[in-house]
Structure 1
Amino acid sequence: MIPDRPARPDDHISPPPRNDHAPFPAAPGHDFTVRRRTLIALLIAAIVLPCIYVAAMAYNDLRTREADATDAALRTLRVAQEHALKVFDMNEALEARIVELVHGEDDDGIRANEAQIHAKLDTIGGGYPQVASVSIFGRDGDLLASSRYSPPPPISIATREDFTGIRDDHAIDRVSRVMVSPVSRETVFDTGIERRDDAGAFAGLVSIALRPGYFSAFYRDLLGAGSPMNMGLVRSDGAILALYPPPRTGATDITRHTPFDAALARGAESGVVRTRSQVVGGDLIVAYRRVGSYPVYVSCGYRTAAIWAAWWRHLSVLVISMFTPSIALWCVIWLSLRRLAAEEEAWERWQAEAAMRRSIESAYRQSRKMEALGNLVGSVAHDFNNLLMIVSANVQIARRRGAVGLERELSAVERALKSGQSLTRQLLGVARKQPLHTETIHVGRWLPACRELLGASLGAKVSLVIDVADDVWPVLVDVAEFELALINLAVNARDAMPNGGRFTVRARNISFRPGEGFPLDGDFVQVSLEDTGVGMPPDVLARAFEPLYTTKPKGTGTGLGLPHVFAFCERSGGLAAIDSAIGAGTSVHLYLPRALYAPAAQRPPAPPKEDAKPREGLRVLLVEDNDEVAAGTEALLQMMGHQVTCANDATSALPLVEAGYAAGHADGESAPRFDLVISDIHMPGEMNGIDLAEAVQAIEPTLPVILVTGYAEELERARHVDVRVLSKPFDIGLLEKMLEQIQRDRSARARDATLGG
């Protein structure tokens, strides 16, 4: 819209745009955003840095513990490997001595010398705790001699794996699996070496049975009680020869398809692997080493569960020692944030209060300014009304006297009178002195009925869109003032869209509750009028509702359109607001209070009954302080056939009423001297027209009174008195209708009095 209907800079619901609602800049030391971000950054750092430190320390500690566990396993493994190597080397030496002892003897020769050989075998193997028995087996696997028995029992190992393996030169079978020895009846594993005859053919074997318990006892002493490690003696094919602690499942072989099993399969000499063992039950770090050239490995496993348990204990101490002061720091920062939030809330509350004070002060200054301007405009409009009344009365007199040849001139004067009346009406509306004749209307049905009126105001280039729901609440407004407000807004929208555009009228229900920021509380109907025009700059927008302000070319704008709209909404109990931006068009929002009752159904007025005889003229007391207005009105009344008595003010009019009433009763008449009193409200002296009407009704309640005014505040008071009211400048035809109604009422009372007599 163009500047006569500017736009608001704020939030669609506040009063006329003011700069007083601009937010205060934060004072030095009150940059809450920077302080909050700093505290949040400190809080994040206080959380993240200790967490990073603890995570790094925990990771390093875990790696260190795993490395220490590996070192411990390797150190222990070396001891066990040296021990096993000495045992197997000694066995090999003993076996060599026994082979040398029976060299050149066949099976029969050994049997023949069994007693001597038994004694020597007992001497050779009897002094070693790891040796369970020493035996000599023949070519067919029969037991020929033993350190345990003499003569030996009939035992054969012809089908045993270690016998067939040594016979067939399988190196792995030089160390057998764990078994129950048929000779000693103990759980043992055998180490054997073949005997050969002079021709180099296989002649049997010499076997030394070793006790697994010997190795387990050594491993137990080596590891100590409660050790997280386990140790084992394992054949290269995975068969377990000795293990401490004993396997939980009674397994005889290591867990297959594990890194340790793969290392044994490829014949690795030594190494460290991580594996999961079903034999021990759990994850292990396993260090292994081959025992010399024998098909035997010594292994040392460290349970990772023990590593994790120790790591968790250390981590708990670390977390407690690290996060105890950190938690205290977090609490301090959190309390600082809470305090900062409280300070910010207090600061914003202070800002709001300060803004409210500034807004109230500005509103008070604006109110005083508008009040002063309104008084000035009201005084000018009142005097102008009197001038219009004089001109209007004399035009009516000229027409009634049948002025010939002056029809065009009188019509021009009447058109000028209508323009003057409209201008006076706007002036009084801006000054809050225009009387309102409120009635309840259905906005949903009333606005679409205004399509033709708005279309005429917008012109052919602007398209009109009316979007109003039927469930919009009724409102209590002065319909004429509402129509004038819509026309003003439509005209401004048309001027803002010289090349055409769209003008949209919308209506919806809206409710505001206390504390929501709207200046008013309650239920309202929001009538929004939106155009697609050029919009308004902020400087023009700020003076939107200022009376007599316009940026239209000279002679095309009065600066009263928008002030009249705002005054109409305010006097109706609502509010007007504008939203606009350059190039984005303008939206005007009218907030009109919801009516408590639905409008009554309109009934066509009953045609008045014509009297059979012509009515007599009324005796009128005309009270008017302006002589020219009084002269014109008096002449019109006389031309209508009425008798007129004039008084300049209420003080001089009241004695005339009293005297006429007293004289009428003294003569025995039932009617007072005057049939009607017509009085202006605004008059000099101690009494105004309303005071006069109250005094007249106190004297004679049935005496009709017509009050004439141009001020809204006087009209409000006049409504509490049983009188008829005309607002200046009034239409002579309306006055004539009132007088005819008074004549009919007077005739009806006269008939009732006659019939009653």
Structure 2
Amino acid sequence: MSKTTLNMDKHANTDSQWAAIEGSGPGHPRIGFDIQRRLLQALLILCVLTSLALLLVLGIVQWRDLHTQAFLAAERATVVAKEHADKVFELDTSLTGRVGDLLAGMNDDDIHARQHMIHLKLRQMIAGLPQITAVAVIGKNGDVLAHSRDYPFPPLSVADREYFIALKQGKQESISSVVVGRQMQRQVFTDGVARRAENGSFLGVILVSLDPGYFLSFYQEMLPGEMHQSLSLVREDGAILVRYPKMVNDVPNVSASSPLMRGIGANALAGTTTGISPLDGERKIISYRRVANHDVYVVSARSLSHIWRAWLSYMVLAGTLLLVPGSILCGIIIFAIRRVKDQKIAWQYWRRELALRHKVESDLRESQKFEALGKLLGRVAHDFNNCLMVVTTGIQIIRLKRVPGVEKQLEAIERSIKSGEQLTRQLLGVSRRQPLKPEIFSLQMKIPEWQLLLFNPIGAARCYVDVDTETWPVCVDAVEMQLALINILLNARDASPPDGSITLRTENILRRSAGPRQGYFVCISITDQGGGMSEETRKQAFDPLFTTKEAGKGTGLGLSQVENFAKAAGGYAEIESAVGIGTKVSIYLPAAESAMLAERDEGSLVAAAPPLKPLSILLVEDNTDVADGIVTLLETAGHAVTHLTGAADAEDFLSQRQPDVVISDIHMPGGITGIELAKKLNLRFPALPVILISGYAEDLQAAIKDGFSVISKPFTLDSINRQLAAKVR
């Protein structure tokens, strides 16, 4: 055939595909040097802008993350410190309650008289409490009446202390600022609780001295080496009781205008704010929480300058990491601009590969379409075979009953049935689901019968047939052979000029050479007068999906089917071609003279076989119409038939009684197929013959592969009787 039509010249086809995609035809100029250079320059600018944009996005995201983490760290530290302070002041409250119970009903004189006993009790109460340095009982005039530290305690008055004055004036509890104890000479802050009589008169004060160093040790454990974050215990009026880390210059109070005091004024329980700290002048995140039932706040402050430094470090690192690949990428682009010619060649090669890929994908989609169509045709053929089976059994029953006057009509129906069988075979041949049915025939008889089918599509006037009258018979599937010849003839038509002739010839060949291609062959050759094909194209002509036809006009499957058919028949296919002269495609099929003689001998033996005795038959068929016809046909022939509709029912039946033979449909609902049923019966009843029937080609192929006897629907009484005779003989 011509190289423009057969299974294909790869490079010529990909070149045309590339030209179509690139747009190199009239009105579609190729992409030039200037356009490529401008594109690369734009890409260079885009690369720089993208790097800057990415750096900007990373900076924004990191800045937000650092701020969020700083806020969370400040709030977590505040929560932990508050829980610690709550426990300390709760213990303080419990201690003052116990002291109050100890002093219940005592006046100043009673307390002074029992000073030693009270001293011992107070000392015992604070034993093991490192946060409390001392407990004192103050009289209503400000004199220290009892003290946990010393006995006897020297005369000492605290009447001038701010907390005593506040409690005497009516306040129930007062926490002092940090003071130096007059007796202990160390820094403490006190928590004083007023003692009052039942009528509310002031009796004195129970004073608990707390150690600021205890809180400092805890805060230091929470923030080891964290110089950018601080923890403080601050009184409601801004007086600083404890701060870690300690400041170089002590600032005893936080001003009322500070961010902390403004936040407390807005929300007295808890909050987080930002602002410039009056202690060191840095901008900070400030989180605070009030200690339960006390006028004291736990405050955590985190420096924003640390966040700024961490962000700058991150940006330097990110910028460095982006600069290296960005510089490399820019260098590559600049190099590409300088070497634009080489880039253009690479681009063109890539377009060729893209065109080839598109073509392969298109061919794959086309093959998938054929596969889907094949499945549909297979199912249609199966259902149609069931319909033909009903009609076939009806005709045979009528013939067996010898109904007079209907012979002519029965013959017409039988001819229609044969046409229907041929139609289903053609459908299954297209779907590739038809099991091969080799039959022995002579080409000098078949080719004239196929003349209309083969030559009309390509123009019968231009076709010449030369069939040797002595051509040996062959044993092949007739439908597959028709399809192979049609594929070759269509390729020859497309390859030839309108007035070019096409010749089909048969001849006998004897190959004496050693190897698999020796023996008696029948050669069927088709010759055209087209442009021929190159040697490279000829070597690839039988490859699947390889075609030289234009897109949409060929699938590359025609000659592949021809080669597969020849191999399946035990032969082979060859192509001879010369550019400018034409192409000859030859199919070599083994001669079947001995097979024909064997078939004749077998036929005479079958004809001489004794009549079949009546049998008990179990029929498993889900289609009731088909089953009724088969049952009636077999019963008319003298057999006793039991019909069941499913494999499960058949297993139950066989567990009670066993017939002479089981005939089962393959394709049945219910989860158990006829093949699976046959396998089970072979295991349970090895001597029980099983015959499988189906109108679905895939089922027949599977059954044959598993070694079971099969009959294709529709079948005749003679064919089923031959199978029965072979099974029960």
Flag whether TM exceeds 0.5 (same fold). Answer: no
With structure 1 as the length reference, what TM-score do the two structures score? 0.39
With structure 2 as the length reference, what TM-score do the two structures score? 0.41
